[in-house]
Amino acid sequence: MSRRVLYDTNVLLDVILLRAPHVGASAAALDLAATGVVEGFVAGHAVTTIAYLIQREKSLATAKKALVQLLSRVRVAPTTDSAVRLALAMGLGDFEDAVTVASAQEAGCDLIVTRNIRHFRSALVKAVLPEALAASGSGSS
């Protein structure tokens, strides 16, 4: 059974907005979900953030097209009432990161792929860099 991986907002935006110098590693990590090597997720609250940022930089049509393409590769990990309450009790320095962790936990994810692993040091779900996931080739790091 493949690992369940939640992709953080920054990794997904790297790919969608072609953000150098991170797009290569982030795309390689996301490709593992697209090819079924890992089961990929995005936190529900991150979907609206991603849409807003793409729409602000490009257009609503571009944002919708990007989300359709993204959601053909990953599933949405719900941001539930219990996830928000769990995040509030976590003690992470950033609430959005705590909600990401709680959503990953509720979705049964093994890893969070992020460029900000230091933000997730005390999280119960291990955080790895996109390069680490891509290098593992199977999501088993």
pLDDT tens digits, 57-111: 999 999 999 999 999 999 999 999 999 999 999 989 999 999 999 999 999 999 9
Indicate the pTM of the whole model: 0.94
The candidate with the shortest Cα–Cα distance to 78, out of 52, 51, 50, 102, is 102
All structural domains of the chain with their residue ranges = 4-136
The domain made up of 4-136 has a fold known as: Rossmann fold (3.40.50)
Q: Tens digits of per-residue pLDDT, 8-60? A: 999 999 999 999 999 999 999 999 999 999 999 999 999 999 999 999 999 99
Contact 70, 40 (CB under 8 A): no
